[in-house]
Homo-oligomer: A and B are copies of this chain.
């Protein structure tokens, strides 16, 4: 049975129907940045804010993907690519379902992020680069991962022994070093124009 045997069945309820009912513009807000840069903290605070405003959101991150959909994948570069591809595809389905998706992934390369952006319509994808410097992230090291990476216990750790390519055209840039978390959130919300 080849792929030519799939076909597109038109269901009657569309993304537009769901968006209209929810009175929100479905979109994917994709947070990229080093480990420890503050992605999860920002996402958490943004979700609380959006929930209070009656938006319907969902968070996608390494936790809920690695423990289920992607639990067949290792942390090799190839499998990390596949992890991100699946994250992007799930985000796309959820945007199609009418949700505002908050996705937090280091997503270290331009190619990975460009591919993911390509899954969405222009007004449905917002890239937020959490630009906190490596030195700051490493100093925080709340999860102890930088220490392990420096000790050689973790391979391919972005910023230490693997590349992190700085985003060239993110919609929003947030540096959690130069502002408090409250200021960062306010700035993020202002720029999102929600």
Interface residues of A (CB under 8 A from B): 1-3, 5-9, 11-13, 17-18, 21-22, 40, 43-44, 47-48, 51, 54, 56-64, 66-69, 71-72, 75, 82, 86, 89-90, 92-94, 96-99, 119, 143, 145, 148, 154-157
Contact = CB atoms under 8 A, between A and B. Distances in A.
A70 B92 CA distance: 13
Contacts of A57: 13
A152 to B, nearest CB: 12
B3 A63 contact: no
Main secondary structure of the interface of A (DSSP, over half): mixed
A12 B93 contact: no
Given A2-B75, A40-B9, A89 B62 contact: no
A5 B47 contact: no
Nearest to A148: B5
Nearest to A54: B21
A80 B14 CA distance: 27
Most buried by B among A5, A68, A69: A5
B97 A94 contact: yes
A84 to B, nearest CB: 12
Given A47-B13, A63-B9, A22 B93 contact: no
Given A11-B40, A18-B58, A68-B92, 8 more contacts: A5-B154, A6-B62, A6-B67, A11-B47, A13-B47, A68-B89, A69-B93, A93-B94
